[in-house]
Structure 1
Amino acid sequence: MKTKKKRVEEELIKEAIEEEHRIRKAFKDKDWAEIKGANSWMIFKVMSEFVEGLEKLAKIGPCVTIFGSARVKPSNPYYKMAEEIAFQLVQQGYGVITGGGPGIMEAGNRGANRAKGKSVGLNIYLPHEQKGNIYIDPDKLITFDYFFVRKVMFVKYSQGFIVMPGGFGTLDELTEALTLIQTKKIGRFPIVLVGKKFWGGLIDWWKKVLVNEGMIHHEDLDLFNLVDTPEDAVRVIDEFYSKYLLSPNF
């Protein structure tokens, strides 16, 4: 009978062999017909994801996207804060969009669901099989293969971004939105970072390094707001639209 140690060793060897096979396959020479065929089918897959997203989201009305870590648990203060923000957003007439998964995303959909508002999830296929959380409206859950298609949907159908504490994915979504607004590829909309303690170090670095090195203008720091409470986060969204919708240049 195999010992536990022996079984672990065999499993590690098996994983190493499989990884070797994956690497060899990736670097294997491909002929033009194989390359052309794979790329052509990828184009159709990308198109199908755009079509599904556009059709399902075209009539959702004003929504705010809540970003944040998938790893926080319901007992985490940030989870509770995201749920409350979503609840208050619905009370102000907005729907809520999230990345559709667990953690902060689940909290956002949960708060919207509790307030009986629109709850949208733009999920993504990941190696660990991220699943849509149970608080999303069934007809408003879309699962994507491609991150870039998913990000287009976030930007196109959101009237604002609430950015809770998160990791690389959250940073990617935040900086993507800031870049698009900074370069005037999209119109201005409110971006709210929640958690002064969490975001403070990053913002200080932007000020001390990016601004001082001339990588961004000091005015670019006005593209977002930093708050600490659900009430302030929702207030920023409301005040932005109260101000800009009344402006003749908006």
Structure 2
Amino acid sequence: MSRLRGRFTGPVFTRRSEATTTDQRLLDSHQPSDWVHTDPWRVMRIQSEFVEGFGALAELGPAIGVFGSARTAADHPTYAQAERAGRLLAEAGYAVITGGGPGAMEAANKGACDAGGTSVGLGIELPFEAGLNEWVDVGINFRYFFVRKTMFVKYSRGFVVLPGGVGTLDELFEAITLVQTQKVTRFPIALIGVDYWSGLLSWLRETVLADGKISQTDLDLLFLTDDVEEAVRHVLAVQEEDPRP
């Protein structure tokens, strides 16, 4: 009989725990009415996650977020690209922030770690993942997605985005929205993988832009390349103009 896999509930690791997550229980409207009485206590837990995140990352220094699929196999070319991106960013003096999981995230953390840089993982409580990858130097496991997203955007000065699925797309479009609405400024976004991303960009240009739902300046926020070095140069070039320490 195989050993049961465990998972994290926030920062706590458990086995044989319930299948739901904290986020799921918070957002589920089909639950007993006693949630009215427990939600104020949830606010305290949410506050504590913000405090933990701010405390852990306040002295991090300049950092770049690297996103990509947790399903990227170690022998896939994208894994090598993510590892290379993490290494180049670390060699340039930047911390690397990922979601802390396997696949492309693990690769970027590994590249940063091998280069002697700071490798950060911001994990999330999920029913099918057991925690942070082994290459994370500074790791925080969150219960709530919205707290985790705040940490990504607050402490990253740009994103390098590799091929990924729903989670990667979520982070990508969140970043675009924040730049578009001027909630964040000087925030470069580099996409690695011309074949992978071209279909999406064509749809945005030929359908969404053509119908007047976005402007050309929104599309100009995205820099597309197959060259890892070029992607890293793009996100770092903006930092040279940034007056922040």
2:242 maps to 245
- Kindly indicate whether the alpha-carbon contact (under 8 Å) linking 2:186 and 2:242 is maintained by their aligned counterparts in 1: no
Letter in 2 for 1:106: E
Letter in 2 for 1:144: F
Name the structure, 1 or 2, with higher relative contact order (CA <8 Å, separation 6+).
2
User: Of the two, which has the highest radius of gyration?
Assistant: 1
1:98 maps onto 2:95 in alignment: no
Q: Secondary structure at the match of 1:89?
A: helix
Higher helix share: 1
Higher strand share: 2
How far did residue 36 of structure 1 move? 2.5
1:9 maps to none
- Kindly indicate whether the alpha-carbon contact (under 8 Å) linking 2:112 and 2:118 is maintained by their aligned counterparts in 1: yes
1:145 to 143, 146, 152: 143
- Kindly indicate whether the alpha-carbon contact (under 8 Å) linking 1:124 and 1:130 is maintained by their aligned counterparts in 2: no
Letter in 2 for 1:41: W
Counterparts of 2:113 and 2:218, CA distance in 1: 35
1:203 maps onto 2:201 in alignment: yes
1:228 maps to 226
Query: Structure 1 residue runs of 4+, over 3 Å off?
Result: 25-29
Counterparts of 2:43 and 2:237, CA distance in 1: 41
How far did residue 98 of structure 1 move? 0.3
Q: CA RMSD in A?
A: 1.8
How far did residue 234 of structure 1 move? 1.1
CA separation of 1:29 and 1:58: change in aligned 2, threshold 3 A:
closer
CA separation of 1:29 and 1:112: change in aligned 2, threshold 3 A:
closer
- Kindly indicate whether the alpha-carbon contact (under 8 Å) linking 1:122 and 1:142 is maintained by their aligned counterparts in 2: yes
Counterparts of 2:136 and 2:32, CA distance in 1: 44
How far did residue 60 of structure 1 move? 0.5
Q: Secondary structure at the match of 2:220?
A: helix
2:166 to 142, 162, 168: 168
1:61 maps to 61
How far did residue 26 of structure 1 move? 6.8
Counterparts of 1:26 and 1:63, CA distance in 2: 37
Counterparts of 1:61 and 1:219, CA distance in 2: 29
1:38 maps to 38
Letter in 2 for 1:213: D
2:73 maps to 73
Q: Structure 2, unaligned stretches of length 5 or more?
A: 1-18, 20-27
1:13 maps to none
2:192 maps to 194
Counterparts of 1:26 and 1:217, CA distance in 2: 36
Q: TM-score, normalised by structure 2?
A: 0.85
Q: Structure 1, unaligned stretches of length 5 or more?
A: 1-17, 19-24
**Is the deviation greater in 233-242 or in 71-80?**
233-242
- Kindly indicate whether the alpha-carbon contact (under 8 Å) linking 1:97 and 1:120 is maintained by their aligned counterparts in 2: yes
How far did residue 29 of structure 1 move? 5.0
**Is the deviation greater in 35-44 or in 70-79?**
35-44
- Kindly indicate whether the alpha-carbon contact (under 8 Å) linking 2:157 and 2:239 is maintained by their aligned counterparts in 1: no
Counterparts of 1:126 and 1:51, CA distance in 2: 21
- Kindly indicate whether the alpha-carbon contact (under 8 Å) linking 2:190 and 2:223 is maintained by their aligned counterparts in 1: yes
How far did residue 73 of structure 1 move? 1.1
CA separation of 1:134 and 1:245: change in aligned 2, threshold 3 A:
same
Q: Secondary structure at the match of 1:185?
A: coil
Q: TM-score, normalised by structure 1?
A: 0.83
Letter in 1 for 2:150: V
Q: Secondary structure at the match of 1:204?
A: helix
How far did residue 207 of structure 1 move? 0.2
- Kindly indicate whether the alpha-carbon contact (under 8 Å) linking 2:106 and 2:135 is maintained by their aligned counterparts in 1: yes
Percent identity between matched residues is: 48
CA separation of 1:28 and 1:171: change in aligned 2, threshold 3 A:
closer
CA separation of 1:207 and 1:26: change in aligned 2, threshold 3 A:
closer
